[in-house]
Each structure stands twice: as C-alpha cells, then as structure tokens.
C-alpha cells in the first residue's frame, strides 16, 4: 500500500473565490475547510494565507480554529494547486472494506477496520480506509469521526454529513458521560488482576527523531479503565487479556497507559517489551494486540449507535495458543 503519487500538472486560480457556507459546512473549523478546498496546496502555505489575512470571513480576519457559521462568506485567495494522480486502490481492498461494514444508516457508517490499513493516506501511505470507502461510494460524503492506529483493528465511525459529523464530535468531546462508550480488548504483559482506572495526562515528545507519547502530570488529560478478562501462564509466559474503556481519545492512549502500569501491550513495537514481543511472535502474533471491540453512542436527533466487532481470527488464535 505504501507508494507516492506524482503530480500531473499545476493550475492557477487567477481570481479570488467567494464561497458561501451552508448548513452542511456549519461548525467546521476554518483551517479544515480550507485544507479540504485547497487539496494539493501544502498545509504550511494554507496557514500562511490565514496568518497574512488573505483569507477573509465576512470581510474580516479569523483565526484558524474559527467555527464556520451558516451563511458566512469565505474569501479564498488565488493559489497554485498541484493536481496529483489519484492512488490506485485494488478492488480486493474495496471488497474487503465493504464486507467489513458493521452498521450503515442514513447518518453514519461503522466499519470493522482491519489491522495494517491506516484510516487515511499520508506518512508514506497512498490511501487509507476513508479513501477506499470514498472510491466504493462515489458521491457519498464521508468523513472520519475519530481515528484508530494503523496497527489497531475494530470499530471505526464515519459520518455521512456535516450535521452527523458535528453531532458525533460533540458527543466525543463530552464522552465522560453516558452517551459514549468505546470498548477495546488488549493483551498485555504479566498478570494484571482486577480493575484499575489510569487517570494521567499524555504529552508528545520527540526521541531520536521519532514522535512518541508519554505520560505527564501536566499533559492532556487521559482516562482509561482496565479490567481483566482472562489471565494466562504459558510455559512461564504471563499475559492478561484486558477489557479497556476510555473516556478520552488521546494518541496511543491505551498503549501509553498500559506501559505506564508496567503492562505493555503484546506486539507493540513502539512502547512494548522486546523480549515479551519475541515470545508472543513465537506463538503466532504478528501485529499489535489491540482491538476496538464495541462502539456505543446516543445522539440527539440521530438516535442510538451500537456496533460490535468480533475479535479477529488471528488474535483469537494467539489466545488459544496461550491457553494450551
């Protein structure tokens, strides 16, 4: 799947454009709106346009995080856009994703994302789940509501309209209440009995040129609830299958919190234990053992969303091997 797309040509927009915001774009951040409209323009240049005041909303300057309102008039200055070739997505991947859909209604779509496929293109990947589904459903507006790590499988939520996206985002921002429940299954090193809530902040650091996340008391608050489902002791190798429910959605949250408690996830090459990972690989584990098993939301005017993804066969096989 890793590849690059080469530019086909460049085109200039000779005149500034005025775009009137409608209900479907209401609530979108100004910078995200521009990045979507100016595909092919480097992100740094888009933010330069905002800082310099060349982008105007109702004839005035706005910050990148400004939330657009229905009826706003956005001036988009003339820019040079690089047109890129669309990535070639194999039909087999399109069929795989369509067959992995767990819920599909007028408002949202939930797909059981396979491990190894990113949610969107970038960072050396020509396409991701969102690109595959957009190809299979031309003309259907689809937007990612949240993210899963490339190595993580399970329930991934997409919205079919800006109104649905805003409703889902509002619920996720307040997911400490009972309207949202995100459930995961994770295999960790060692015996981790009972239940434990990890409530500690997470911050980004750069180590040897690589972006990492780490726990920090003054970092962005992150809350994870761990509960042991099953313990294993296979020829001296100890592991625990944990049910995890998260109240926040920080990058690598479960992986970082588990590591903080000295129970790193099996197959985690970034935060895990090398010796433990080698032992797990000998039992057939060739990926991160983290699966988004269930997603539940109650949304005003949209209703109840409840999707469940069974544990993938390759992960169940590892549990079976541990139990022997």
φ, ψ for residue 91 (rounded to 5)?
Answer: -60, -30
Token digits of residue 62: 């706005």
**Residue 12 bears catalytic tag:** no
Name the 3-class secondary structure at 135: helix
**CA 209 – CA 125 distance, rounded (Å):** 19
Cα separation values, 265 from 254, 260, 276, 287, Å: 9, 11, 9, 11
Handedness of CA 285, 286, 289, 293 (dihedral sign): negative
Active-site residue, from 31, 72, 131, 149: 149
Torsion angle defined by CA atoms of residues 52, 57, 59 and 63, in that order, rounded to the nearest 10 degrees? -40
**CA 131 – CA 122 distance, rounded (Å):** 11
> For tokens 């990535």, what's the residue?
87
Strand partners, 153: 291
Give the count of beta carbons closer than 10 Å to the beta carbon of residue 235: 8
Cα separation values, 289 from 91, 151, 278, 317, Å: 27, 8, 13, 12
Number of H helices, E strands in the chain: 8, 17
φ, ψ for residue 320 (rounded to 5)?
Answer: -60, -40
Is residue 143 within 8 A of residue 159, CB to CB? The reply is yes
- Which residues are catalytically annotated? 149
């Amino acid at each position: 799947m890793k590849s690059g797309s080469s530019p086909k040509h460049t085109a200039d927009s000779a005149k500034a454009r005025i775009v009137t915001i409608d209900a479907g774009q209401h609530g979108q951040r100004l910078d995200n709106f521009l990045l979507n409209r100016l595909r092919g323009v480097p992100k740094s240049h888009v933010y330069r346009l905002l800082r310099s005041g060349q982008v105007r909303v109702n004839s005035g300057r706005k910050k990148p995080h400004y939330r657009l309102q229905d009826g706003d008039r956005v001036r988009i200055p003339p820019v040079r856009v690089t047109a890129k070739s669309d990535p070639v997505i194999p039909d087999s991947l399109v069929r795989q994703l369509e067959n992995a859909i767990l819920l599909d209604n007028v408002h949202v779509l939930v797909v059981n994302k396979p491990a190894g496929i990113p949610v969107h293109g970038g960072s050396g990947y020509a396409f991701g789940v969102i690109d595959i589904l957009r190809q299979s459903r031309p003309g259907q507006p689809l937007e990612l509501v949240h993210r899963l790590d490339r190595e993580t499988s399970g329930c991934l939520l997409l919205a079919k309209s800006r109104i649905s996206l805003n409703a889902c985002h509002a619920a996720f921002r307040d997911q400490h209440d009972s309207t949202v429940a995100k459930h995961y299954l994770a295999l960790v090193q060692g015996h981790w009995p009972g239940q434990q809530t990890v409530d500690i902040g997470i911050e980004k650091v750069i180590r040897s040129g690589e972006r990492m996340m780490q726990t920090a008391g003054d970092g962005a608050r992150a809350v994870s609830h761990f509960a042991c489902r099953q313990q294993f002791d296979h020829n001296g190798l100890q592991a625990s299958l944990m049910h995890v429910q998260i109240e926040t959605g920080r990058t690598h949250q479960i992986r970082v919190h588990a590591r903080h408690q000295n129970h790193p996830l099996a197959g985690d090459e970034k935060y895990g234990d090398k010796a433990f990972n080698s032992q797990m690989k000998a039992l057939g584990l060739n990926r991160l053992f983290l699966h988004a098993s269930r997603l539940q939301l109650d949304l005003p005017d949209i209703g109840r969303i409840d999707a469940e993804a069974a544990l993938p066969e390759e992960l169940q096989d590892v549990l079976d091997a541990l139990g022997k």
